[in-house]
Structure 1
Amino acid sequence: MKAREVIRVLLRNGFAERKAKGGHRQFVRAEPPPKRLVTVAYHTSDIPKPTLRKIAVQSGKDLSEFE
Structure 2
Amino acid sequence: MHSTANPTALKLLDACEHVLCEVEALEDVTVRRVAGEANANPSAISYHFGSQKPPAGTISATAALFGFATSAH
Higher helix fraction (1 or 2): 2
TM-score computed with the length of structure 1 as normaliser: 0.32
Higher strand fraction (1 or 2): 1
